[in-house]
Amino acid sequence: LCMNEAQWRREGADFPAAFAALGYRPLGLRYNSGRAIWRNGAELAALLETVPGPLVLLGHSMGGLVARSAIAQAGRSRWPRRLQALVTLGTPHQGAPLERGGQQLQQLLAVSAYSRPLALLAARRSAGIRDLRHASLLQADEGKASRLPLPDSVACYAVAATTSKAPTGSPARWLGDGLVPVASALGQHRSPARRLAFTDTALFTGLGHLGLQTDAAVLAQLQDWLAPAP
pLDDT tens for each residue of 113-151: 545 555 555 555 567 777 887 888 999 988 888 889 999
The least confident of 82-91, 93-102, 221-230 is 93-102
The Cα–Cα gap between 113 and 7 comes to 13
pLDDT digits (tens, 9 = 90+) for 34-62: 899 999 999 999 999 999 999 999 999 99
Q: Write down the pLDDT at residue 104.
A: 47
Beta carbons of 160 and 182 less than 8 angstroms apart: yes
The Cα–Cα gap between 54 and 14 comes to 22
Helix axes 102-110, 116-124, angle to 10 degrees: 160
The Cα–Cα gap between 16 and 219 comes to 10
Q: Write down the pLDDT at residue 121.
A: 52
Q: Does residue 17 carry a pLDDT above 90? A: yes
- What's the length of the chain? 230
pTM to 2 decimal places: 0.86
Domain 5-176+221-226 has CATH 1.20.1250: no
Q: Write down the pLDDT at residue 114.
A: 45
